[in-house]
């Protein structure tokens, strides 16, 4: 009953000073809105990246990279940056070694070739000229705007498959399949074009492949006058086989191929998702920590206003104590008032966060994700701010003596 009376008195006090109450809440509103909207946008970005990775890269794919990257980087005192730098440690011998591993039914090397891809005077700026084998199409979830990937009979032919942006850069909205492009002065027939959304962010194989231009590995060797360097190897695990077990066997086969030198990384889709989650979580935590400063400022604002309120309401405190209210009752009155201010501010902040995150999501084409955990965190932090910063004014009010409080007016 006492709690309900204190709650009603807090609401009456806030109603009698609407503008001051709103200005007091403003710091909490801004802080909660910033934190919740950042968490929602961060969760939305994470979901978008995860959907893109799982939508492009087969769950049964295993990637082999030069050096130590992903979850394996930095172990045993290794420098992940140094180990992955310089010339690739992977060779075509590793491709052959992986083909002998049980439950692996496709292995594709990936090499990066220098060169400009052109359609007459039009060039594909920023295009990634990649050399690979026909098995690559079995290791990736590729959807075609038109055409197909090259097959086993075309490994030495001048054929090319265009990524989504590369196709748009070279041909715009026109049909690309059947046309020719020029690479290093040689003509290549376009036999396939990928959809833009499906060619992007192939995380297992490397950077964004939306600008990729694929040519056969043997053709690339002929084009460069040597053997194309193997930067990545993608292996496809048979359906029903355990990916992690197969990855361990692949690692053993590669160790034998490298003479026991552990200078490579074997990654699964799960490893990639784990790495992406770690990076995004760190970024989100850092930004939330900065945004939380506004909550601290809002809490200080509550404390300052409540201290002023105690001074202004000295007569009220004296009268309450004179008619029998205990120090605990007065303390609870002002503490609940501070708590109500912060909780209402937190609720308004959550509403503002939904508007902000939705607007930002539309601009960035990301769907914000409001999790129950984020909402509960916002409510909990708001309540904690009210209690922590309201305790000092409440104690000051509770310590006032009735006679002194009445004489002070």
Buried b (16+ CB within 10 A) or exposed e, 251-272: bebbeebbeeeebbbbbbbebb
Q: Encoding tokens for residue 135?
A: 């098995």
The pLDDT profile of the chain, 409 residues, written as one tens digit per residue, is: 466 776 777 777 777 777 777 877 887 888 888 888 888 888 888 777 766 665 555 667 888 888 876 555 544 444 444 344 456 788 889 999 999 999 998 899 998 888 889 998 888 877 888 999 999 988 887 888 899 999 999 999 999 999 888 898 899 889 999 999 999 889 999 999 998 754 444 434 444 567 889 999 999 988 887 767 888 899 988 888 888 889 899 999 999 988 888 888 888 777 766 767 777 778 777 777 777 777 777 777 777 777 777 766 676 767 676 767 777 777 777 788 788 888 888 889 889 888 988 888 888 777 888 888 888 877 887 788 877 877 877 777 677 666 555 555 4
Are 62 and 208 in contact by the 8 Å Cβ rule? The answer is no
Q: Of the candidates 40, 38, 47, 45, which has an alpha carbon nearest to the alpha carbon of residue 287? A: 38
Cα 14 from Cα 161, distance rounded (Å): 67
Residue-wise pLDDT tens digits, 301-337: 777 777 777 766 676 767 676 767 777 777 777 788 7
Mean pLDDT rounded to a whole number for the chain: 79
So what's the pLDDT on residue 405?
Answer: 52
- Secondary structure (3-state) at 116: coil
Write the DSSP assignment of 2-17 as a string of letters: HHHHHHHHHHHHHHHT
Q: At residue 56, what are phi and psi to the nearest 5 degrees?
A: -105, -40
User: In the structure encoding, which two tokens stand for residue 404, read together?
Assistant: 């002194």
Compute the distance between CA of residue 108 and CA of residue 134 in angstroms, rounded to an integer: 7
Q: How many CB atoms lie within 10 A of CB 367?
A: 17
| Helix, strand or coil, per DSSP, at residue 109 | strand
**Residue 374 token pair:** 């984020």
The tokens describing 241, both together, are 């086989």
Per residue in 366-403, pLDDT tens? 788 888 888 887 788 778 887 787 787 777 767 766 65
Residue with tokens 């098995």: 135
Instruction: Report yes or no: 144 and 194 within 8 Å, Cβ to Cβ.
Output: yes
DSSP-based three-state secondary structure for 88: coil
Q: 242 is written with which tokens?
A: 């355990």
Q: Angle 2-16/327-364 helices, nearest 10 degrees?
A: 60
Q: Please tell me whether residue 234 adopts helix, strand or coil conformation.
A: strand
pLDDT of residue 153: 93
**Tokens 């400022």 label which residue?**
297
């Amino acid at each position: 009953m006492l709690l309900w009376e204190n709650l009603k008195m807090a609401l009456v006090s806030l109603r009698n000073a609407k503008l001051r109450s709103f200005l007091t809440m403003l710091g909490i509103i801004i802080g909660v809105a910033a934190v919740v909207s950042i968490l929602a946008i961060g969760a939305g970005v994470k979901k978008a990246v995860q959907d893109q990775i799982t939508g492009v890269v087969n769950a049964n794919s295993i990637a082999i990279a030069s050096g130590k990257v992903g979850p394996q980087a930095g172990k045993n005192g290794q420098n992940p940056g140094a180990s992955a730098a310089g010339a690739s440690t992977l060779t075509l011998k590793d491709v052959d070694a992986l083909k002998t591993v049980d439950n692996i039914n496709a292995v594709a090397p990936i090499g990066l070739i220098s060169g400009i891809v052109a359609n007459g005077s039009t060039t594909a700026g920023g295009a990634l000229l990649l050399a690979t084998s026909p098995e690559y199409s079995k290791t990736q979830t590729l959807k075609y705007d038109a055409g197909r990937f090259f097959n086993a009979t075309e490994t030495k032919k001048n054929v090319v498959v265009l990524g989504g942006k590369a196709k748009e850069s070279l041909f715009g909205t026109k049909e690309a399949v059947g046309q020719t492009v020029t690479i290093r002065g040689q003509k290549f027939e376009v036999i396939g074009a990928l959809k833009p959304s499906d060619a992007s962010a192939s995380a297992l194989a490397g950077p964004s492949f939306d600008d990729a231009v694929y040519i056969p590995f043997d053709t690339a060797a002929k084009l460069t006058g040597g053997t194309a360097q193997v930067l990545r190897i993608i292996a496809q695990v048979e359906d029903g086989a355990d990916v992690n077990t197969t990855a361990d066997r692949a690692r053993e086969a590669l160790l034998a191929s490298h003479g026991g030198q552990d200078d490579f990384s074997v990654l699964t889709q799960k490893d990639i998702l784990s790495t992406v989650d770690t990076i995004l979580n760190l970024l989100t935590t850092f930004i939330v920590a900065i945004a939380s400063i506004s909550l601290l400022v809002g809490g200080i604002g509550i404390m300052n206003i409540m201290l002023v309120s105690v001074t202004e309401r000295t007569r009220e405190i004296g009268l309450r104590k004179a008619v029998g209210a205990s120090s605990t009752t007065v303390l609870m009155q002002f503490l609940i008032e501070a708590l109500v201010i912060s909780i209402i501010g937190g609720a308004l902040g959550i509403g503002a966060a939904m508007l902000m995150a939705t607007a930002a999501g539309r601009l960035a084409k990301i769907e914000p994700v409001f999790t129950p955990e984020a909402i509960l965190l916002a409510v909990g932090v708001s309540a904690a701010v009210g209690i922590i910063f309201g305790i000092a004014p409440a104690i000051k009010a509770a310590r006032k003596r009735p006679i002194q409080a009445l004489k002070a007016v």
